[in-house]
Structure 1
Amino acid sequence: METNYIFKLLILGDAGVGKSCLLLRFTNNRYTGRYCSTVGVDSRTRTLEIAGFKIKLHIWDTAGEERFRSMVSTYYRHVQGIVLVFDTTQRNSFNHIDYWLKEIEKYALPNICVMLVGNKCDALEKRQVRQELATDYADRLGLPYMEASAVSGVNVERMFGKLAVNIFDIHVLPTLQQAKGPQSHGISLSSLPKTIKPRNNKHRNYNCC
């Protein structure tokens, strides 16, 4: 399958919030139920179609443990999108979102697309973070928020898809629109960049999906 564009994503969040499980569900439609801590950084890929273009998502799954965080920080500047995950059954993981946003502010390039995700929304009896609380928090920061479940698969496709569409709108669409200008008789895919480079704007701007 020919790929027109490659988007690079990073999954962040505390250890045990289900980052690897969400990625496995998205890329392989599987859930193992076994907890296995990520060592350093792992990666998987999946191709989507957006506006008739084949988009390969190269997704880095990061370890949440503090001892790996210096290694993870080197990946921030190479991505266009970040999935920031907390566990709806663990209030501490939600409280740590501020820490992860500071890391993004510190290491990622401006204009990064960030989506906040509350995982394990299927575990209603164990919930410690109300949906209204997380939604209000995300709204104050201007972040898109979605609840998902790696166990049931609910919203997993949707959250990655919405983030990919946002990256497309921010980084690809302007180039396509320019190529369709008055002097153009069509778009040559070979003339467009396959790997999208993050913009280095002066001011931080989290882009909502």
Structure 2
Amino acid sequence: MYKILLTALIFVSVLNAQIRIVNSDGLNFKCLTASFYEPKMGLMKYFDRNGLKVDIGNSVDLIEMKNKNYTITLGADFFAYVLVNNYGFLILRVEAIDGFFGGNVSVNGERFSGRFRILHRSAHLVDEYGELNRKPFPFTGEFADLILAFTREFYRLYGGLSYTFRIKPADVKRFYLQSGFELFKDVNPVTAIFACDVKFFE
């Protein structure tokens, strides 16, 4: 019995944390700016075609555990990116949607941070594709990724890996390494950001 009490006492003294529900004003691990697999809100214009990439989504921290050295949060991710084409004035034709949802655990210290996520992903063809002679093939799967980052005042360096543990079709590559950096500078009233994200598929 005393071993159980001693283990619990050590755990509490090491964690020394308060647990509370948090709002979504700021994230414990900020989303990677240049990665496609991150929640965003906005538009990206394809200049070589009559199309737009529309990002719709959000990541929120739901539960926070904090002490003087680090902060741990449990969060949720829901996002999608949509390929649309101009079909007329203020009329958009939705061609395809990639949707993601899942959860994450993140840790943030003074300089180092990390995030582990498990997400479901599925892709869908939308407007007018139902008229094809054969039905579109549904792409779907679940994957986990781990990102570790080092942050200073004007930059963030990160690296990590991702593994897809269930996927359809089965012959899609399941594993990749990821690396990147972000440079940021506050120039009132905006923040200038330059970011690069590279993925190496195995």
Scaled by the length of structure 2, what TM-score is found?
0.33
More helix by share: 1
Q: Which protein is richer in strand relative to its size?
A: 2
Larger RCO, structure (CA 8 Å, separation 6 or more): 1
Which of 1 and 2 has greater Rg? 2
